[in-house]
Amino acid sequence: MSPIEVSLQAALDALGDPVRRRIVRELAVVPDWTRPCGTFNDLPVAKSTLSHHFAVLRNVGLLEQRDEGTRRLNRLRRAEFDARFPGLLTLVLAEDEG
């Protein structure tokens, strides 16, 4: 899904979850295609829940994934999402988890 087709409602729903915002922040600080899904096991959710979070992020155009061997690698679609929803990702990246 390209962010261009995404509604504000869907974007707000996706980013309304603190675990998804944390995934976004963690991907923002590593190069594209370097962080496999399997390395997010420090998050306080079940593996199936984590898969759901990744799917939601893909569906609003925030995340792109590709398989490489047994690993599923991730890329944050930062520029594309910024172009569609200016400022929104910046707020998420600047968030203090407290």
**Residues contributing to the site for its own copies (CB under 8 A):** 7-9, 12-13, 15-16, 18, 21, 85-88, 90-92, 95, 98
Q: How far is the CB of 42 from its own copies (least distance, A)?
A: 20
Are the C-beta atoms of residues 20 and 56 closer than 8 Å to each other? yes
- Which is closer to its own copies, CB of 8 or CB of 30? 8
Strands (E), the chain: 35-36, 63-68, 71-76
- Which is closer to its own copies, CB of 24 or CB of 63? 24
- Which is closer to its own copies, CB of 37 or CB of 88? 88
Q: How far is the CB of 11 from its own copies (least distance, A)?
A: 8
Q: How far is CA 31 from CA 7, 8, 49, 77, in A?
A: 27, 27, 25, 12
